[in-house]
Structure 1
Amino acid sequence: MKIYVAIAFISLVGCVSAQCNIPPQYWCDSLSVAQKCGVESACREFLNAEAAEPVNIELYFESLCPGCRQFITTQLYPTWMSLKESGIMAASMVPYGNAKEVQLSSGLWNYTCQHGAEECVGNLIENCIIHYSEDKFDTYFPILYCMEDASDPIKAAEMCVKKSDLDWDQIHTCSKGEQGNHLMHKSAMKTEALDPAHKYVPWIVANGKHTEGMQQEAQGNLLKFVCDTYTGAKPKECQSGIKFKQIVSFRE
C-alpha cells in the first residue's frame, strides 16, 4: 500500500510543495500532511480509487464451442494474466451454455449438449474442476484454459488437471457420477436465471449486467473493456495501450 502510494504520486503529482520533507508513501496518512505537501486533491482521488470494486466478469460457455474457446484463449486468459496483480478484475465461469436438461425418475438429470455427448462430458469435467477448486478462479482457470487451448479439450483434461494441485481421480469420479450431475444442474439453473436470458454463447455478464454493446466490446477487446469499466485509478496495464489481435467473434 505505502509503496503503491509512493509510485502513484511520483507519477501523478507534478509539483510538490517545497515545505514537504516527508517521503511520498506517507503523504496521505493525514489531512495535515497532504495539505503541507500540496497533494490534498490527489490524496482524495487516490483514496477514493482504492475503494473501487473490481470489474466482475462472468462467462457463460460450453466446452466445445469454437467461439467460447476463442474468447477464453485470446481474450480472457491474456487479460487475466495482465490484470491479476492489479486486482481490478474478478471473474467466474459457468460451463453449461446451450445445453438442455430433463429430470429423470431417479432425481438425476439427463443432459443434451449443442456439440454432442462429448461436450456434455467436457462440461461435467469443468464443473467438477471448479467445485474442487472451491470456486477460486485463479485455481481453476489455468486448468480450464489448458483444456480449451488444446486441440481436444476432453482428451487434454487429465493432463491439464495433473499439472495442477487437483486430484484427477477425484475429478474423473465426480464427472462420471451423481456429484457431477448435480453440479451441472446448478450451472443449468444459474444459466437459466440470466436476465436477460442468454441467446448464444459465449455470453458475457459484467457487474451483473449484459447488453449487446457490452458483449461486443468485451468480446472484441476484454482488456480495454475492463479498464474502461473500472472506476478506480487505472493500473499501468491499462495505460500501456496493449491491444490483442482482433479476431472474428463467433457466437452459437
Structure 2
Amino acid sequence: MSYSSIFRVRILVLAVVCLVLWKSFSYFSEINNQASLGKEETTSVELQILTVKVTVYYEALCPDSRNFFIRQLLPSFERAPRLLDVVLVPYGKAKTQLLPREGTDEGILHFTCQHGPVECHANKVHACAIKYVINQDLLLKYVTCMISDNMIPDEAGEKCAVDLEIDWEPIRTCSSSVEGDLLLRKYGEETHGLRPHVSFIPTVSLDDSQDNQAAILKDLFKEICKKIEVYHPSECA
C-alpha cells in the first residue's frame, strides 16, 4: 500500500472516530438536559403544592384570636415559612352600616364590633398594616405584637412598629381616615361572604376549607402537614 493510501485510511478512521465521539456527546448532553428539565418541573410542582393557604378571620381584641396568633400562627410560620401562604381578615363578628351624612348625598361608614369601638379602631389598624407591610414574615410579627396588647391600638401599633423598624406613619394615617374605613368594609364583605358563615372567632380555613376547625385551632402546624403529607416536606418529619 502506498503512503498516500495509508494517509487516506488514517484520515477516514480519524473522521469516523470524531463522528462517533460527537454523536456520543450529543446523546449524553440531551439526556442530561432532559433530566435537568424534569427536575426543574418537579421542583416547581412541589413548591406550588407545598404551600397551604391559611386564611384567618379574626378580631383584634378577641382573646381566642390573640392565643391563636401567639401560640399557633406565628410559631407555625417561623417553623416552616415556605409551607404557609397567610391571608389575614381582621373583622370577625362586626357589623357595617352606611349612615347618612348631614347636608350631603354621601354616607358615613359606621362599624359595630363585638368588643366595642376600641376593637373597631384596632381592626382598622390591622387592616392598614396588612396593606402597608408587604413582607409576610414582618407582617405576622407585627400583627402578633399588636394583638398581644391591643387595648390602646395606636399605642400598640406605634410601639410594635418601632420595635420591628416599620414605618408607623402610613399605618396611622390610614387607620384614622376613610382609607381605613374602606379597608375594614372590604374585610367585612369577605367575612360575610364566607360559607359556612362565621360562628366562632377566629375561624381559620386551609386552602379555603373550614373543615376540622377544632383540630386547626389546637395544632395548626399538624393540620398543615396533613394537607401536604404526600410530599413529606422535611419540616413535617
TM-score range relative to shorter protein: 0.7 to 0.9
Which residue of the partner structure matches residue 146 of structure 1? 145
Which residue of the partner structure matches residue 189 of structure 1? 189
The CA deviation string for residues 75-131 of structure 1, in whole angstroms up to 9 with x for no partner, is 0010000011xx122111100001111112233310011011111111010001111
Structure 1 unaligned blocks of 5 or more: 1-27, 34-39, 240-252
Structure 2 CA distance, aligned partners of 1:232 and 1:162? 42
Does structure 1 residue 97 correspond to structure 2 residue 92? yes
Structure 2 CA distance, aligned partners of 1:176 and 1:43? 47
Deviation at residue 166 of structure 1 after TM alignment: 3.5
Which residue of the partner structure matches residue 53 of structure 2? 56
**2:220 alignment partner, one of 203, 219, 222:** 222
CA separation of 1:47/1:116 partners in 2, compared to 1, >3 Å: closer, same or farther? closer
* Structure whose CA Rg is larger: 2
**2:70 alignment partner, one of 70, 73, 79:** 73
Deviation at residue 163 of structure 1 after TM alignment: 2.9
RMSD over aligned CA atoms reads 2.7
Structure 2 CA distance, aligned partners of 1:174 and 1:48? 38
Question: TM-score scaled to structure 2, two decimals?
Answer: 0.75
Report percent identity of matched pairs. Answer: 28
Read off the aligned partner of 1:203 and give its amino acid letter.
Answer: T
Helix, strand or coil at the partner of 1:93: strand
Structure 2 CA distance, aligned partners of 1:82 and 1:191? 28
Structure 2 unaligned blocks of 5 or more: 1-30, 101-105
Structure 2 CA distance, aligned partners of 1:47 and 1:99? 40
Task: Assess if the C-alpha contact under 8 Å between 2:65 and 2:201 holds in 1.
Answer: yes
Task: Count residues with an aligned counterpart.
Answer: 200
**Larger deviation, residues 148-157 vs 191-200:** 148-157
Question: TM-score scaled to structure 1, two decimals?
Answer: 0.71
Helix, strand or coil at the partner of 2:209: coil
CA separation of 1:107/1:167 partners in 2, compared to 1, >3 Å: closer, same or farther? farther
CA separation of 1:149/1:44 partners in 2, compared to 1, >3 Å: closer, same or farther? same
